[in-house]
Amino acid sequence: MKWVPKHLDRLFEALLEHLYLVFSSVGIALVISLIVGIWAARRPRSFAAIVIFTGILFAVPSLALFALLIPIMGIGAAPAITGLAAYSLMILIRNIGMGFQAIPRDILEAADGMGYGTARRIWEVELPLAMPYIVGGLRIAMVTVIGIATVAAYINAGGLGVIIFEGIDQRFPEKIIAGGLLTSFLALFADYCFASFEKLLRRRSGGKVA
C-alpha cells in the first residue's frame, strides 16, 4: 500500500468519471425503456419478441460490443455510453414490462371507470404500482453497468478501468487491486441502496403488487 495513499485524488477523479459513465448510460436507457416498456407491456406478442431479442443482445460480451461500435462511433465516451446504455436497456425494458403486466386488471378497469384518460392512468395509477419493479430493474442495471464500465476504459472512456489497465501495463498489482476493489465496492453499495429502496417501495404498496 504505497501508491493508493499518495494518489487518492487520482482515484477520486476516476471514480467520478466512472459514475458519469454509469449514470448517463443508465439514465438514457431508463427514458427509452420507460417508453418502450410501457408500450410493449400491453402487447404480449411484441413484448415476447423484445424479451427474446434483448436476451440475445445481452449475451454479446462487452469488449466485442464496444469493438463493434468503434467503426461507427470511433473511440471515447460516446461508444462507451451507447454500449453501456444498450446493456441497461435490455434489463430495464424487461423489468418495466413485467411491472406493468403485474398490475391487476380490476385496478385498471376501476381507473377507467373513474374516467381516467390513458396518460393520467399511467402516471397516477400504473407507474406508482410498477415502481418496485422499475427500481429492481435499475438495481440490476446499475450493478451490471458498474462492472462493465471498467472495460470501457480500454476505448478511452475513462473511469476506474483506467487504473486497472495501468496496473496491467505497468505490472503494478496495487493499482489492479485498488481499481478492482473500488469498482466492486461501488457495485455492492449501489446494490445495497437500490435493494433498500425496493423493499421500502414494496412495503408501501402494501404487497398488493409483488
Residues found near another protein in the complex (CB under 8 A): 55-56, 59-65, 67-68, 70-71, 75, 143, 146-148, 150-151, 154-155, 161, 164-165, 167-168, 171, 173, 176-177, 179-181, 183-184, 187-188, 191
Cell readout for 66 is 464496444
User: Which is closer to another protein, CB of 75 or CB of 102?
Assistant: 75
Smallest gap from residue 163 Cβ to another protein (A): 10
In the complex, minimum distance from the CB of residue 10 to another protein, in angstroms, rounded to a whole number: 17
Q: Which residue do the cell numbers 463493434 mark?
A: 68
Q: Which is nearer to another protein, 4 or 122 (CB)?
A: 4
Angstrom distance (rounded) from CA 166 to CA 177: 11
Kindly tell me which of 31 and 195 has the beta carbon lying closer to another protein. 195
Task: Kindly report the number of other CB atoms within 10 A of residue 93's CB atom.
Answer: 27
In whole angstroms, the minimum distance from the beta carbon of 169 to another protein comes to 9
Query: What does residue 117 show for φ and ψ, rounded to 5 degrees?
Result: -80, 170
* Cα angle: 147, vertex 30, 65; to 5 degrees: 45
94-113: burial string, b at 16+ Cβ within 10 Å, e else: bbbbbbbeebeeeebeebee
Q: Which is nearer to another protein, 65 or 81 (CB)?
A: 65
> What's the min distance (Å) between Cβ of 167 and another protein?
6
